[in-house]
A = this chain, B = another copy of it.
Amino acid sequence: MSELSDKSSNVVWHQSTVSRTRREEKNQHKSVVLWFTGLSGSGKSTLAHAVEDQLYQLGLHTFVLDGDNVRHGLNKDLGFNDQDRKENIRRISEAAKLMLEAGVITLTAFISPFKEEREMARSLMPHGDFIEIHCFCPLEVCETRDVKGLYKRARDGEIKDFTGISSPYEAPVKPELKIDTNALSLEESAAQVIALLRERNILPEKNN
């Protein structure tokens, strides 16, 4: 390994596993999973990206898993029946767990309407590393927004088992955070998440 020694004299050879702890030390912040849940149109993805942008500016390492990068990739073989929806959430949880292990603050933005599946996701992570954030917004407001036109299609019967219309949304009973995205601005909503991360010492000390 002459070349390595010559050019990088600070590199000491020893074979060991780079652990999550060592990654967190280098990153100077802990990793965590922020699990955003709520109706379609409740602002999950918008909020997750807004929070990520703030965290990026604070120097943290982050990643958002959402429909845009999961549904057409890792989970592109899955449909929307019960079994596939469950598998969808399972794979997202496992991907989030890998990201967590990689030292990345991982934000997931999926409706994830069923309590059982969110609890499954939580159970995969070490205690305290799963933060459930309920983006609360009344159905009628989400339906009025209908950014993607999905509610109309669901009402017209074009989409089956649509959460809030023809399939239940089981609201979290005790989420770590419940944000009223209808009453609060995006800035205020993001500030609530950041505040929780400060309380939990996820943010590095220099920013606390």
Contacts and interface: CB of A to CB of B under 8 A. Distances in A.
Contact of A58 (B8, B59, B64): B8
A72 to B, nearest CB: 10
A166 interface: no
A190 B1 contact: yes
Nearest to A184: B1
Q: How many copies of this chain?
A: 2
Interface stretch (A99-107, A137-145, A146-154, A175-183): A99-107
A73 B94 contact: yes
Interface in A63-115: 63-65, 69-70, 73-74, 77, 87, 91, 94-95, 97-99, 101-104
B13 A187 contact: yes
Interface residues of A, number: 62
B18 A69 contact: no
Contacts of A132: none
A62 interface: yes
A1 B188 contact: yes
A167 interface: no
A194 B16 CA distance: 17
B57 A17 contact: no
A36 to B, nearest CB: 15
A57 B191 contact: no
B56 A15 contact: no
A191 B73 CA distance: 33
A27 B77 CA distance: 33
B94 A4 contact: no
24 contacts: A1-B185, A1-B188, A4-B54, A4-B187, A4-B191, A4-B195, A7-B207, A7-B208, A8-B207, A13-B54, A14-B53, A15-B46, A16-B49, A16-B53, A17-B49, A22-B56, A23-B61, A26-B59, A27-B61, A69-B98, A73-B98, A95-B95, A102-B104, A104-B104
Closest 3 pairs (CB-CB, A-B): A74-B94, A1-B191, A63-B102
